[in-house]
Amino acid sequence: MLRDGVARFIEEYARRIAPPLRCGFRVTALRQMSGTSRLAVDTEPFSLEATNVVVATGPYQEPSIPGCSVALPAATYQLTANRYTNSDQLPPGRVLVVGSGASGYQIADDLLQSGRDVYLSVGRHRRVPRRYRGKDFGWWQDKMGLGERIAESVPGGVLPPLLTGVNGGRDVDLRRRAQDGMMLVGSLRGIDAGRLFFAPDLEANLTKGDEGILGFTRLVDEFIAQHGLIAPEDPQVSPTSVATISSTVDLDLRAAGITSVIWATGYRYDFSWIKCPALTESGEPIHRRGVTSIPGVYFLGLPLLHKIKSSFLWGVGDDAAYLAEHIADRA
């Protein structure tokens, strides 16, 4: 589904269930009311009382920017991925995008297609095919039950899939982008006196990313064979061959002509407005399948809240139904 289709889906859903929506108000606090079991939700113009509150604000609240960003020269234009719209908002000159997740790659690709000279700092990532054997990656993930895996069964350190939906969706291929002119460097490890320092891990990160796409297509092939499915044959996926990959480990910003740095280095939670003891000292929600120890306080839509699919539009419904039943039992 393309962007406009997603927006239309949400608008039609709101019209269909016709909830009493209050839009445009910033919530400033969620707190327990003194001497009662009820909760107070404070907004800038007014406060509400509630027996139950579901916090469904998602995981992408505050961009996580490396501390070394403060060492960039004052003249360097800095931007986070959530603030990027198009290449025209950047000053003339080369651009460094830090982060090889979906946002980082998509921004670097957009800049390249806009005619900008762009560096991409490549860290650990997991490539997957946008489409394979006639179906989208998400279709196969659902069909094979991969989204149903319980959070506790998922090994630590599993990376989100590196995908793009541009032009209806196509595979991400960093090596091919290097052939097209994107300048790839390893993961950023420091900045000092106008110089950028990169780890010598570019080839290792590219190889690890390739393992992701090879592993997923192998899973699909095995699933098709085991279940006797009829699916069109696709050419065997193999990494694009590149004669040389940059071994650059440091760059002088001025000499390289880099005038802008875009940070696509992920996000962190910002639940500082929650005044109930439902968070760890570092601000992480404390819950079990969205249910906290504070009566009436719930979380929904977080990554791995219960299953792999918990933070996706197509998967959040199971968790919502579970919380609705829990709330109904409380009543």
Domain range summary for the chain, segments of one domain joined by +:
3-61+269-330, 63-266
Scan for tokens 């505050």, then name that residue.
62
The answer to whether 3-61+269-330 and 63-266 have equal CATH topology is: yes
**CA-to-CA distance for 55 and 274, rounded, in angstroms?**
9
**Which structure tokens are listed for 321?**
């139904």
- pLDDT averages per 10-residue partition of the chain, 331 residues: 89 94 93 93 95 94 95 97 96 97 95 97 94 93 93 84 81 91 95 95 93 94 96 78 68 96 96 96 95 97 94 92 96 83
**For the domain 63-266, what is the CATH code?**
3.50.50.60
Question: Parallel, antiparallel, or unpaired for β 161-162 and 126-127?
Answer: parallel
Confirm if 28 and 44 have CB atoms less than 8 A apart.
yes
**CA-to-CA distance for 152 and 304, rounded, in angstroms?**
8
The pLDDT of residue 42: 97
Task: Give the amino acid at 164.
Answer: T
The pLDDT of residue 258: 97
| Angle at the Cα of 324 from the Cα atoms of 321 and 325, rounded to 5 degrees | 90
b/e per residue 234-264 (b: at least 16 CB within 10 A): eeebebeebeebbebeebebeebebbbbbbb
Question: Pseudo-torsion of CA 255, 100, 102, 139, nearest 10°?
Answer: 150
**Which structure tokens are listed for 109?**
């690709």
Q: From residue 197, how far is each of 74, 105, 200, 325 by CA, in Å?
A: 18, 20, 10, 52
**CA-to-CA distance for 9 and 308, rounded, in angstroms?**
22
Alpha helix segments (H runs only) across the chain? 3-17, 102-113, 137-143, 174-180, 202-227, 253-256, 316-330
Scan for tokens 């800095």, then name that residue.
78
Confirm if 320 and 328 have CB atoms less than 8 A apart.
no
Single pTM value for the model: 0.91
CB count, 10 Å around CB of 7?
11
Sheet arrangement for strand 183-185: 77-80, 258-263, 94-98, 118-121, 183-185
Confirm if 194 and 124 have CB atoms less than 8 A apart.
no
The pLDDT of residue 169: 74
What is 3-61+269-330's CATH topology? FAD/NAD(P)-binding domain (3.50.50)
Confirm if 316 and 310 have CB atoms less than 8 A apart.
yes
The separation between the first and the last C-alpha atoms of the chain, rounded to the nearest angstrom, is: 38
The pLDDT of residue 248: 76
